A and B are shown apart, each in its own frame.
Chain A
């Protein structure tokens, strides 16, 4: 067998053995020829023909139903915290802030390389109180909302970290998972650490890290983040 045929054979075996197909473009010289592709299509059709194989599991149907219900609920919430408003607010705020990087950070093209987290660092921002020390006592992330932002605060060593709560892939609102101390995107299950770095994703290419926010702790224990001014 030549390399093309070997690759096609590996695809077929991955398919029939229930393994994930390899991701990424096929290297030059190993692109399956028409006959191998046709054979692979036959493999797909045969695999789909296993009795009852093409029925979705109850668990999957239920889980997706819950995710969609949550998404519909989010879409119908008041404008200040709807997904679109969060994004639109961020854009509008960024447009009025010289040098602001919010738009680039939030709307980096999905195909971009995984990047070091950029800071959401508005020149004309304002400090807004979003939590108290007590909110972070258990070590898990604290979700907050301002007029134009949704984010998460979390302890980081002796300091604090604050990141955007909007997934950098398609703008879905993240949710905090206390047990694993991660931020999860309900749309495509990408996982981010509390500091915004990507720790897992099924997407190819992977979404960029979450933008970081400036954060400070006042003497009275109030925690503030620097956000763009309201427009």
Chain B
């Protein structure tokens, strides 16, 4: 796959925020209208060698992929695949913008292959332009916790609590059931309904 020629126009172009995509990433920085105008200028400066490319982008790529698969094991595998796939065809002399555009495109391909092999379904996907912007200008701190909190807003207390316990506080289903004073079977049903309720409220698309 050739290096994607993504000039300044390509990098600066921002699509509408993925407000209906619970797995992000969102617009870098913030999603306010004012910040949408805060464009990140990508110069032609490049990297000195492959190690610099890797160190500058590994956390960004990992975060992007983790937000799409939600587990460490697969995020590590996919990050490895992205860098190994990019190692051969990508020129070290490419600009930072080109490198990130190429990494973003590779992330999209690797993720699509992952879901096809894993479930035969495209559960989550990556918009390469949006992902390139995210890689170029990621938030200083992960926005995933805030995104998760927004998904929980508006849910009934018990529905919100089961999801907090299970997903954010890492409780097992038994621990969550005990914490809430309900049976394990009820906890499973409550979790299922809470997820569907959140999905309905946020129009979760891929």
A interface, CB within 8 angstroms of B: 1, 5, 9, 11-13, 15-18, 20-26, 31-32, 35-57, 60-61, 64-65, 67-69, 71-72, 75, 187-188, 202, 204
Select which of A20, A43, A56, A202 is within 8 A of B70 by beta carbon. Answer: A43
**B94 in contact (CB, < 8 A):** no
A13 pairs with B22, CB closer than 8 A: no
A45 pairs with B24, CB closer than 8 A: yes
Q: Which residues does chain B contribute within 8 Å of A17, judged by CB atoms?
A: 172-173
Q: Which residues does chain B contribute within 8 Å of A75, judged by CB atoms?
A: 87-88
Cα distance A202–B75 in the bound complex, in angstroms? 13
Contacts A21-B118, A54-B63, A68-B84 given; does A44 touch B123 at CB 8 Å: yes
Q: Which residues does chain B contribute within 8 Å of A40, judged by CB atoms?
A: 123, 195
**B121 in contact (CB, < 8 A):** yes
Cα distance A67–B77 in the bound complex, in angstroms? 13
Select which of B120, B148, B191, B195 is within 8 A of A49 by beta carbon. Answer: B148
Contacts A50-B167, A65-B51 given; does A71 touch B84 at CB 8 Å: yes
B204 pairs with A53, CB closer than 8 A: no
With most chain B CB atoms within 10 A of its CB, the pick from A36, A42, A188 is A42
B167 pairs with A49, CB closer than 8 A: yes
Q: Which residues does chain A contribute within 8 Å of B145, judged by CB atoms?
A: 49-51
A45 pairs with B117, CB closer than 8 A: no
B84 pairs with A48, CB closer than 8 A: no
**B37 in contact (CB, < 8 A):** no
A41 pairs with B22, CB closer than 8 A: yes
Cα distance A31–B142 in the bound complex, in angstroms? 32
Contacts A12-B191, A41-B22, A41-B124 given; does A46 touch B84 at CB 8 Å: no
Cα distance A55–B144 in the bound complex, in angstroms? 11
List 13 additional contacts besides A43-B195, A64-B54, A72-B50; criterion CB under 8 Å.
A12-B195, A21-B71, A38-B203, A41-B124, A41-B206, A44-B68, A45-B151, A47-B167, A49-B168, A50-B145, A50-B168, A60-B79, A187-B80
A31 pairs with B121, CB closer than 8 A: yes
Contacts A38-B205, A61-B58 given; does A46 touch B192 at CB 8 Å: no
Contacts A16-B166, A31-B121, A47-B167 given; does A71 touch B69 at CB 8 Å: no
Cα distance A48–B22 in the bound complex, in angstroms? 10
B124 pairs with A44, CB closer than 8 A: yes
B55 pairs with A187, CB closer than 8 A: no
Shortest Cβ distance from residue B113 to the other chain A in the assembled complex, whole angstroms: 10
B199 pairs with A48, CB closer than 8 A: no
Query: 4 closest Cβ contacts across the A-B interface?
Result: A49-B148, A25-B120, A44-B70, A38-B199
Cα distance A55–B79 in the bound complex, in angstroms? 12
Cα distance A57–B73 in the bound complex, in angstroms? 11
**B177 in contact (CB, < 8 A):** no
B50 pairs with A53, CB closer than 8 A: no
**B198 in contact (CB, < 8 A):** yes
**B188 in contact (CB, < 8 A):** yes
A68 pairs with B87, CB closer than 8 A: yes
Q: Which residues does chain B contribute within 8 Å of A42, judged by CB atoms?
A: 22, 151, 195, 198-199, 202, 204
**B1 in contact (CB, < 8 A):** no
A18 pairs with B72, CB closer than 8 A: yes
